[in-house]
Amino acid sequence: MAHIAIVGGGIGGLPTAYELRHLLPREHKITLISDRSKFTFIPSLPWVAFDMTPLENVQLEIEPLLKWRGIDWVDGRVTHLDPEAKTLVAGDRTLNYDYLVIATGASLNTDAVPGLGPDKGYTHSVCNPHHAEMAREAWLEFEANPGPLVVGAVPGASCMGPAYEFALLADHVLRKRGLRDRVPITFVSPEPYAGHLGIGGMANSGKLVTQLFEMKQIDWIENAAVTEITPDEICLADGRRLPFKYSMLLPPFLGAKFLRDVPGLTDAKGFVPVKPTYRHPDFPSIYSLGIAIQLAPPEKTPVPLGVPKTGQMTESMGMAVAHNIARDLGVIQSDPVKPTLEAICMADFGDTGIIFIAQPVLPELESGTRRRAIAKRGIWVSWIKTAFERFFMAKMQNGLGIPWFEKLGLGMLGIRLVEPLSEAERLEEMTHGSGSGSRPSGSRVGVARESVQNP
C-alpha cells in the first residue's frame, strides 16, 4: 500500500486527488491537505471584486466532497517538509508519505514594491478569496466617492489576464452606474506591449486588446516598472507619478514558504523544477503541478515578466501526475505521459470578452513558434466563461477530474491534455538530477530571445 499526500486543495490539487482516486485501488491511501477549508474557483474572483457574484457561489467546502470518496482530508497549513524522511508537518500533525504532490499555487510577493497591498499597502489584488473580498469592500466605497483608477501589474508579475479583466470590467461596471466620466482609467503593465501576456506571439492579441482600450478610453502604459506606491500615487521608474483613488495591481508570485525552506527543492523564487513527467529531478517521490512549478519565460523582456500558468495547463499537469504515479505503482501499464500545455483561456469584460487558444502555451523550443495561436473577441466569450465556471464547480461537486465528455469536447477543438514522452525526454527521465537541460515539456530554460516584437 502506498500513501499519496497532495498539498493544496485548489484548481490543481482537488481534481488531481479525484483522478488519483479514480485510477488507484482503495488499498492505496490518498490524503488532501490544504490551508483553506474551501475550494475556490480563482478565475471568478474579479467578478467577486465587482460584487457581480458572491464569493460563496465560487466556493465549495472540501471535507464533505472527500468524505464518501475514499480521500482523507487534513485542514491545515503545511509548514515543514523533509523530502529525505518523506514527512511533512501540517498544523499539529506529522504525516508520512510515499508520494507527495505539490499543488500549493501562488504565494504573493507583496514586498516586491513598497506600498503594494492590500495587507500592508494601498493597492488591491484579486489573487485569493480574502483579497477579492477586500477589493470588493473598497470598490463599493470607491463607487460612492470615485476618482482615478489605476489597474495592472508590477514587475515580475506573471498572470496578466486578470489585470485586463479587471480594467475592462471596471469600465463596464462604471458605465452601468453612470460613473465612467468621473473615473479616468490607466492600465500599467510590465509587458513589452499590451496583450503580450507573458508569452508573446499570441496571434492578434495585442491588436484586440489595444482596440478595446481605445474604444473604452482606457490609457495604457507598456514597459511600466512600478517602483513605489504611496497612499495616492503610483510611481514609475521613468519618473511618472499616477494619482489614484482605487488601484488593483497584481503582485509577483512566489512558491510556498515551506518549499523555499527546503535546500535544493526549489529555485530562488520557490518554484519547483520538474522533469517531463513532472517528477522532481532530485526527489523522485515528489511530483508538482500548477503555479508551484518552475517555468522559464520564452523571451527576455525589458521589464521582468513571468509566465502564466493557467487553469487548464494546471489541470493537464494534474492528469499527467496522476497517470505517472499510478504507473509508478504498477496500477497501469502504459507509458509515462507529460502535459501538452495546450490551453484555452477566457477573459470576460462584461459586454465582450476574448478567448485565447494557445497550442502550446509556450512556443516550441526548437522553432520558437506555436502550432496554433488564436485570439477572438465577442460577447459569446462572456457567456462561455460563465458556463465554464458552473461546469467546473459541478465537476468538483461530483468528484470528477477531467471527465470523458470534457476530453471529447477538447478533442473536437483539437486540444489534447497529455501526450507520451519523446525519446530524449525518456532518457532525461532516467538520469538523476536536474543537469543543465531539465525542463517540463515546451518550456525554455534560460533561453530568452533578445528582442520582443509587437505583432
Ligand X SMILES: Cc1cc2nc3c(=O)[nH]c(=O)nc-3n(C[C@H](O)[C@H](O)[C@H](O)COP(=O)(O)OP(=O)(O)OC[C@H]3O[C@@H](n4cnc5c(N)ncnc54)[C@H](O)[C@@H]3O)c2cc1C
The contact set with ligand X (CB under 6 A) reads: 7-13, 33-36, 42-43, 45-46, 77-78, 103-105, 126-127, 159, 161-162, 256, 258, 290-292, 309-312, 314, 345-346
Supply the residues annotated as catalytic: 159, 345
* Cβ closest to ligand X, residue 162 vs residue 306: 162
H/E segment holding residue 424 = helix 423-430
* Cβ closest to ligand X, residue 124 vs residue 216: 124
To ligand X, the closest distance from the beta carbon of 431 in angstroms equals: 27
* Cβ closest to ligand X, residue 111 vs residue 261: 261
Question: By Cβ distance, which residue is nearest to ligand X?
Answer: 10
In DSSP notation, 311-341 reads HHHHHHHHHHHHHHHHHHTTS--S--EEE--
- Those residues whose C-beta lies under 8 Å from the C-beta of residue 180, and which sit 6 or more positions away, are 171, 174
To ligand X, the closest distance from the beta carbon of 330 in angstroms equals: 27
**In this structure, what C-alpha cell is assigned to residue 237?**
521608474
To ligand X, the closest distance from the beta carbon of 426 in angstroms equals: 26
To ligand X, the closest distance from the beta carbon of 404 in angstroms equals: 21
User: How far lies 102's CA from each of 80, 288, 439, in Å?
Assistant: 13, 4, 17
* Cβ closest to ligand X, residue 148 vs residue 311: 311
In terms of C-beta distances under 8 Å and separation of at least 24 residues, what long-range contacts does 366-370 make, across chains too? Answer: 368/298, 368/449, 369/201, 370/201
**In this structure, what C-alpha cell is assigned to residue 353?**
470578452
**Coil, helix or strand at residue 365:** coil
Q: DSSP label at 144?
A: H
Task: Work out the angle at residue 293's Cα, subtended by the Cα atoms of residues 290 and 297, and round it to the nearest 5 degrees.
Answer: 105
To ligand X, the closest distance from the beta carbon of 107 in angstroms equals: 7
Burial grade of 200 (CB within 10 A; 0-12, 13-18, 19 or more): buried
* Cβ closest to ligand X, residue 280 vs residue 309: 309
